[in-house]
Structure 1
Amino acid sequence: MSEHQPTPDTVLRLINGYWSTGIIGAAAGHRLFTHLNAGAHTAPALAERAGISPRGAQSLLDGLVSIGLVHLEEGTYRNSAEADAYLVEGRPADLSAMARLKLTHMGSLTGLADVVAAGGPVSDPAVEVADNPHWGQVVPAIAAQSVPAAAVAADVLGLDDAGALSILDVGGGSGIYSATWLERNPRARATQLDWEPINAIAARLLAERGLSDRFTCIDGDFHHTDFGRHAYDIAVYSHIAHQEGPEDNIAVFTRLKDALKPGGALIVCDYVVDDDRSGPAFPLLFACEMLLKSKQGGTWRRTDYDAWLTKAGFSDITFHTAPPATLVIAR
């Protein structure tokens, strides 16, 4: 067979992509990455440590080797650098909870063809409501994905040595931005605006870090709650713009501009695509997630954010990579 002739390998691997979701979710559920990190480097040792069958341990290891999250060298298995950083329990950016969560979401993809035809959800997703019990599982699970972005933002803005900053985190969820920045700047104070059940989760998580004395919450819907005027040095709008339409994003950005002190900075973090929609890969994939779960959201382009923020009154707009997300900083 010619080296240039296509084979079905890649297509079959992608068709069966749900295997990867299942393998990672099951491995995280049995703490395999944590056990590997702790020294269980063979299938029998891993089976004993995790309390699973030897056959199951070997099958998961085979799958993890296949997708590149585990390496096999001279009969021993070890985490890849990515698995070590993002799937070992206790790491700051541990995504194990998200891996487990995604196992429960796989069924929703069966309706994607109908959603594509309709241009949006064919039934009310009923997710974005305050009293949805899934927040208790989702909010802590997705927190880790913002750890790298929060660190990049702190570095870009020099928040560590910025003194007594006042921070507003709109739709802050787990409070991960506040937690990261309050730990790095002992004089900063943060306020989170979110629904009451979500704020309760954030308050608990920040209390566990000993930061309650500098963290307050405002219960409410950010679409309607007053942000104040000239009250904050920093405002954060993270992973919200993708679920909102253009006009709603402009409206929120305008209100956030008014809430900032002169010279204050708005930090928008989201999955941003290139202007020609040729990449990056993860934000392009995420577009279908928004098609499934939102009526008007999407993965917006850099030029969209630039236009919206300019219309909202910002004049200094810069973009900073925090893979797989992008930080947009506007003053």
Structure 2
Amino acid sequence: MTNEQPRPDRILEIANGYWATGILGVAAKYALFTHLEAGADTAGRLAAETGMSERGAQTLLDGLAGLALVEVHDGGYRNTAEASAFLVAGRRADLSGYAKLKFAQMDKLANLPEVFHTGGPVQAMTEVADNPHWEEVVPAIAAQSVPVAVTAAELLGLADAGEVSILDLGGGSAIFSSIWLELNPSARSTQLDWEPINAIARRLLKERHVADRFTSVDGDLHSVDFGTATHDIVVYSHVAHQESAEDNTAIFARARRALKPGGTFVVCDYVVDDDRSGPFFPLLFASEMLLKSRKGGTWRQSDYRSWLAEAGFEDVSFHATPSPATLVFAR
């Protein structure tokens, strides 16, 4: 038994958490991690490379050291392994765009008291096909799915699966299609999403030299026909949290009809434990859905099991990934 008294440290860290978002967002804006990776390892060198003041560069480095994203090394600074993997420009899993996106959204937090009071968004919804923000948002959120798509491919044995047909529902940047088509030169993929988003996906897949095996269908996944017994794999990545329970059930049933016998439905999302005790990130992300979505949320494992059973799936499994997201396989 311990007599140790509670300390305020963690509460103070949480209350000042916006500084972590701000420091990371500014560091991403100035490509600080990319400059560090290239050898600009002091405040003076970073100031010269980025155009910020030397005082600003030093303070930013101090903050990043406090966040354990950079470390002091041989009288200078260097990226931690985590920052090197996920915050250096040009790397496929680079989350710098995501960090800048979250920094730009901080002003929306002022609406939270009313959002929690009313149980939903208080500003006009922006999730429409012709919103120009897709050019920024779609590439920015793609990187978070890179390790998940690789993990899913390994679990599915996709590289050696031969000629498979993939349907990606609301695939956005087509990051799953991109990675899977690279791993399997015999695979083909079709993405269903809004036309401006599909245009971004086609451009990104052209850069990866796999666009010749990628087809896009423009439209709303709630109404466009998925086909019948057409695809070996149907992917539903980071869409379930935007949808209601009823819409997810209906989409799952249509996904099952689109699968060939023996095919696999792959869901990727932030999944909450049945008793709502964790994990941390999915529990926190539910507040973002309250802010931005009329009916969405972070759903429990039991919710997915129920929806998938109602859709006719009999074999359901959950798989951890090297990210906060969980993979759900249903057959």
Work out whether the TM-score is over 0.5: yes
* Cα drift, residue 73 of structure 1: 3.3
| SS in structure 1 at match of 2:130 | coil
C-alpha distance in 2 between matches for 1:329 and 1:198: 26
C-alpha distance in 1 between matches for 2:325 and 2:196: 26
The alignment status of 1:158 with 2:151, answered yes or no, reads no
C-alpha distance in 1 between matches for 2:212 and 2:119: 46
Opposite residue 248 of structure 2, the aligned amino acid is N
C-alpha distance in 2 between matches for 1:91 and 1:214: 23
Q: Give 5+ residue unaligned stretches, structure 1.
A: none
Structure 1 residue aligned with 2:265: 266
Structure 1 residue aligned with 2:77: 77
* Cα drift, residue 71 of structure 1: 1.1
Opposite residue 196 of structure 2, the aligned amino acid is P
C-alpha distance in 1 between matches for 2:4 and 2:46: 41
The alignment status of 1:104 with 2:107, answered yes or no, reads no
Opposite residue 15 of structure 1, the aligned amino acid is A
* Cα drift, residue 278 of structure 1: 1.1
Q: Deviations over 1:214-241 (max 9, x none)?
A: 0010000000000000000000000000
* Cα drift, residue 74 of structure 1: 4.2
Q: Deviations over 1:21-54 (max 9, x none)?
A: 1100100111110111111111112211222211
Report which stretch shifted further, 246-255 or 81-90.
81-90
Structure 1 residue aligned with 2:44: 44
Within 5 Å, give how 1:267-306 maps onto structure 2: 267-306=266-305
Structure 2 residue aligned with 1:23: 23
Opposite residue 149 of structure 1, the aligned amino acid is V
Structure 2 residue aligned with 1:185: 184
Structure 2 residue aligned with 1:168: 167
* Cα drift, residue 249 of structure 1: 0.3
| SS in structure 2 at match of 1:186 | coil
C-alpha distance in 1 between matches for 2:261 and 2:284: 37
| SS in structure 1 at match of 2:215 | strand
C-alpha distance in 2 between matches for 1:41 and 1:255: 53
Structure 2 residue aligned with 1:327: 327
Q: Deviations over 1:46-86 (max 9, x none)?
A: 21122221111001001001111111134221111211111
Q: Deviations over 1:128-176 (max 9, x none)?
A: 2101111110000000011011001000000000000000000010010
C-alpha distance in 2 between matches for 1:299 and 1:310: 19
C-alpha distance in 2 between matches for 1:111 and 1:162: 48
C-alpha distance in 2 between matches for 1:243 and 1:49: 40
Within 5 Å, give how 1:115-130 maps onto structure 2: 115-124=115-124, 126-130=125-129
Opposite residue 66 of structure 2, the aligned amino acid is S
Opposite residue 169 of structure 1, the aligned amino acid is D
Report which stretch shifted further, 294-303 or 9-18.
9-18
* Cα drift, residue 212 of structure 1: 1.4
C-alpha distance in 2 between matches for 1:317 and 1:27: 41
Opposite residue 26 of structure 2, the aligned amino acid is A
TM-score for the superposition, normalised by structure 1: 0.97
| SS in structure 2 at match of 1:62 | helix
Opposite residue 286 of structure 1, the aligned amino acid is F
Structure 1 residue aligned with 2:62: 62
Opposite residue 280 of structure 2, the aligned amino acid is A
Structure 1 residue aligned with 2:135: 136
Q: Deviations over 1:298-327 (max 9, x none)?
A: 100011101110110111111011121000
* Cα drift, residue 277 of structure 1: 1.0
| SS in structure 1 at match of 2:105 | helix
Opposite residue 82 of structure 2, the aligned amino acid is E
C-alpha distance in 2 between matches for 1:245 and 1:46: 47
C-alpha distance in 1 between matches for 2:97 and 2:16: 22
Opposite residue 172 of structure 1, the aligned amino acid is G
Opposite residue 109 of structure 1, the aligned amino acid is L
| SS in structure 2 at match of 1:263 | strand
Q: Give 5+ residue unaligned stretches, structure 2.
A: none
Opposite residue 11 of structure 2, the aligned amino acid is V
Q: Deviations over 1:92-142 (max 9, x none)?
A: 100000111111100111111111111111233x22210111111000000
Identity %: 64
Indicate the RMSD between aligned Cα atoms, in angstroms: 1.2
| SS in structure 2 at match of 1:131 | coil
C-alpha distance in 2 between matches for 1:136 and 1:282: 26
Structure 1 residue aligned with 2:92: 92
Moved over 3 A (4+): none
C-alpha distance in 1 between matches for 2:82 and 2:283: 21
| SS in structure 2 at match of 1:26 | helix
Give the number of aligned pairs.
329
TM-score for the superposition, normalised by structure 2: 0.97
Report which stretch shifted further, 295-304 or 4-13.
4-13
